[in-house]
Amino acid sequence: MRLDLTKRSDYAIRAMLALTMAKGGQLSSRRIAEQMHIPPRFLPQIMGDLTRAGLVVAHPGRAGGYLLAESADAVTLLRVIEAVEGDPHRRVCVLRGTPCGQDGECGVHHIFFSAEEALLDTLGSATLAGVISLAEAAEAAKTAAVAG
């Protein structure tokens, strides 16, 4: 079983992490693309979605860029994914490939929906600030292991 992000969600999360690491500073679309290795042609659409969702503030113009609209402690990965993908809830039966509940529920319906809810709960509690903190802690542990 694979749990992969779409490219849109991947790029949106990376862009939001770049803005989080800017610590309140404004970043241009080009700078975000460079820092996070995102193809520049995709970023305007993604940043537009994030702006419409109220997650970032866009400042147009030559010296413009993007800022987080809220504290990184308040923005979850689930909100970022929903901003670019819409509602993440499964609507198609994992066994039948038809809309869930159309012909009743399959034998694994409750198991898969419980697993989906657990994943969404985890994404809904993981904040941008928390992701950065975990990455910094992992990097510090790695550096300490090499030094010691």
The DSSP bridge partners found for residue 59 are 65
Place of tokens 């490939």: 97
Instruction: Please write down the HEC assignment for all residues of 35-63.
Output: HHCCCCCCHHHHHHHHHHCCCEEEECCCC
Note the Cα 113 to chain centre separation in Å. Answer: 21
Give me the pLDDT at residue 61, please. 84
pLDDT at position 78 is 96
- In angstroms, the CA 111 to CA 104 distance is 15
Question: According to the model, what pLDDT value does residue 25 have?
Answer: 87
The pLDDT of residue 103 is 65
Instruction: For residue 64, give the nearest of 41, 31, 36 by alpha carbon.
Output: 31
Query: What are the chain's domains?
Result: 7-147 (1.10.10.10)
What is the reported pTM? 0.85
Give me the tens of pLDDT residue by residue for the chain, a chain 148 residues long.
567 789 999 999 999 999 999 988 899 999 999 999 999 999 999 999 999 999 999 998 888 899 999 999 999 999 999 999 988 776 777 666 667 666 667 778 788 888 888 999 999 999 999 999 998 888 888 888 888 6
CB 80, CB 16: distance < 8 Å:
yes
